[in-house]
Amino acid sequence: MTMRPWAIAALVAVLLFLLGPFLIIVGAGLSAGETLTFPPEGLSLRWVWAVLQVDTLRHAFAISFSLAVLSTLGALALGIPAAYALERLDPPGAGAIRALVTAPLVVPGIVVGLALLRYFVIPLGIGIRPALLMSHTALLVPYTVRVVAASLRNLRVDIEEAAILLGASPLTAFVSVVMPNIRNGIVAAFILSFITSFNQVPVSLFLAGPGVSTLPIEMLARIDFTYDPSIAALSALLALLSIAIVFVAERLLGLSRYV
């Protein structure tokens, strides 16, 4: 099938719209000049190297990365059983529970952050790191529940029953029959959660404190007083990292095998 010219034009326009900002950031980050401009004033990796030497950013990256990993694992540990219970065990008030689980998706992050700080973290005297971990986990649970529940809904119940009648305990049936068949849902939930936590700003803004800051917040602070291309270089690196995570997850866990 040959495409009509207007269809090609539309395709190019959409791709430009989607990828344009990314290309500009990458371009600006590879600039050899002193200021954040596009098109770049000559190409060089100097700002990429420069930004890797900034201690506050390296420190914030380590915090953000470990925070994203831990809160994603926490959200999966809570979200997978919750999704299973909602889909399979038909608990009383399932509709209300579903709405409640989804609530953090609907409430603006600023509100969540302020509320957590004012009514949870300060009164209970919770440290910055545990506060960040708990709040990120809570923010990610809705994603994991939604995504995992959707793949459970597409999986026949009777294969679990078949496993149980062959002698498997409900837990064994879940691990050996259900989990392998909702693997793509779990991988998707992992990627979505990781990236959401890594990019999270509003809640972290309230909960971060002296010495403990996440990467997006450090980057925001840095933009306030520097105008060199280092931020663009860092953004390009982060985009590369996201792509790498999706790629590795897909290779390692076979995301596309069941799709």
Partner 1 sequence: MSDAFLELHGVTLRYGRSIAVDALDLSVGAGELVALLGPSGCGKTTTMRAVAGLLKPTSGQIRIGGQDVTRVPPNKRDVGLMFQSYALFPHLSVFENVAFGLRLRRLGEAEIAERAAAALASVGLAGTEGRLPRELSGGQQQRVALARALVVRPRLLLLDEPLSNLDARLRLEMRTEIARLQRELGLPMIYVTHDQVEALALAHRIIVMRGGRIEQDGAPAEIYERPRNAFVARFVGFETILPATSLPGAPRGATAAFGWRPHHVQVGAGPYEGRVLGASYLGEAVEYLIESDFGPIKAEAPADLPRHGPGDPVRFDLPLSRAVALEAEPAPGGA
Residues lying near partner 1 in the complex (CB under 8 A): 156, 158-159, 161-170, 172, 176-177, 180-181
Nearer to partner 1, 34 or 161 (CB): 161
Nearer to partner 1, 93 or 211 (CB): 93
Minimum Å distance from CB 168 to partner 1? 6
Pick from 254, 251, 219: nearest CA to 238: 219
The CA-based angle 209-210-216, given to 5 degrees, is 60
Give yes or no for a cis peptide into 180 (omega within 30° of 0): no
Minimum Å distance from CB 158 to partner 1? 4
Tokens of 235: 């953004």
Query: What's the gap between Cα 3 and its chain centre?
Result: 36
Q: Diameter of the chain by CA atoms? A: 70
Contact between 176 and 251 (Cβ < 8 Å): no
Minimum Å distance from CB 164 to partner 1? 5
Residue 122 CB partners (closer than 8 Å, separation 6+) = none
Pick from 239, 218, 237: nearest CA to 47: 237
Tokens of 113: 């952050």
Minimum Å distance from CB 174 to partner 1? 12
Minimum Å distance from CB 184 to partner 1? 11
C-alpha–C-alpha distance, residues 220 and 231, integer Å: 9
Minimum Å distance from CB 163 to partner 1? 7
Query: What's the gap between Cα 243 and its chain centre?
Result: 12
Looking at residue 229, the DSSP 8-state letter turns out to be T
Nearer to partner 1, 129 or 183 (CB): 183
Nearer to partner 1, 170 or 209 (CB): 170
